[in-house]
Amino acid sequence: MNNQLFTEDGEFDLGQLIRLLYKGRNAVVKNSIIFAIILTFISYLQTPLYTSTISIFKINENNISLLSGDIGSILGGSDNTLNERLQIDIKDIILSENLSKKIVNNNWEHTKNENLMKFWELDKPGFLSNLFSNNENKSNLKNRKVEAVALEEFSKRIKINENLKTGLVTITLSMENRELSVEILNYINNFILDFSSSNIFTLADKEIQYLNQRIDLVDLELEDSKNNLILFLEANKDYLQSPSLNRQYQDLKQILLFKESIMITLLQQIEIAQLNKVKISPVVGILDHPSIAPKKSSPKRTLYLISGLLFGFIFSISMMIYRTLNRPYDY
């Protein structure tokens, strides 16, 4: 093996390598340009993507409460707002399979009313599929597979960053159509609003239902207390003459007053709950609305060009060193 690149001590001779590169500089430049042209050409074959971003934050309100006051807190079990009780996680909603499937299967305005599976041409059958996939069950299986591929592709296009300190969630989406990116991001925002609002309304309805059930139950107890007091008075008209009967009368009256106070509180709370249901506000807000990307985000042709030059340079050096090391000895 040729020892031209090594000193007599067996160490690599950097100076000799530099002289070797200088001698073959034309080949290095030529290969670098060729690789740069090839990679740049490849970048033109790739579909350009346009990226849009939306920033969403959770709204915490302290001015809406279904149940207020000490008695209300005892009866309702909480004095928190509806929004705080919901405890939604914006990131979890965005990453949910439910939302992803809706996005993949939805017909978008900027795809000529096609879903993403058709837009990405994932539903086009191959030659073998046309021959052997006439069965309806196989067709359904194929549709599920196409949907799974579309879901995987969409997961690659969307990026989510959450600021744990402020709770701000930034969603970035890259699509082939710049208007489509904005349309999908707005759809995601509307989905979060609808999802959270429907859950808040469900929570409010459950609280109102609970209060109505309590009112019905307390109403029966109140009626029983009234009847017990009436029966006692009819049977003991001279109860004032007996300390024990008077004590029993006071107990029955106290129970009646307590039931009446509970009924009044429940009626107040159900009115508050119904008013708060009307005043329910969104639990998420938009800090930065999505805007149409002025230029494509990928492929970055400058990066392809630089990578081609670098790869060509490394390839040339590697080939020169390989040929030098494997060159026969000169006698």
Kindly write down the DSSP assignment for every residue of 20-89, as one continuous string.
HHHHTHHHHHHHHHHHHHHHHHHHHHSPPBEEEEEEEEE---SS--SS-HHHHHHHHS--S-HHHHH---
Query: What distance in Å separates the CA atoms of residue 193 and residue 325, rounded to the nearest whole number?
Result: 68
Burial of residue 178 (number of CB atoms within 10 Å: 0-12, 13-18, 19+) = buried
Fill in the amino acid letter for 146: V
Q: What is the pLDDT of residues 111-135, one digit of tens each?
A: 888 999 999 888 776 544 454 455 5
Q: For the domain bounded by 47-298, which CATH number is listed? A: 3.30.1890
Q: Which residues pair with 44 in a beta bridge?
A: none
The answer to pTM > 0.85 is no
Q: Is the pLDDT of residue 75 over 50?
A: no
> Which whole number is the average pLDDT over 198-208?
82
Q: What is the pLDDT of residues 7-38, one digit of tens each?
A: 666 666 667 777 777 777 788 888 888 888 88
Q: Is the pLDDT of residue 278 over 80?
A: no
Domain ranges of the chain: 1-46+299-331, 47-298
For residue 72, name the pLDDT band (cuts at 50, 70, 90).
Answer: very low
Query: What distance in Å separates the CA atoms of residue 171 and residue 23, rounded to the nearest whole number?
Result: 52
Average pLDDT across the chain, whole number: 79
Q: What is the pLDDT of residues 283-331, one digit of tens each?
A: 778 888 898 888 887 777 788 788 888 988 888 888 877 777 666 544 4
| Backbone φ/ψ region at 69: left (φ over 0), alpha (ψ -120 to 50), beta | left
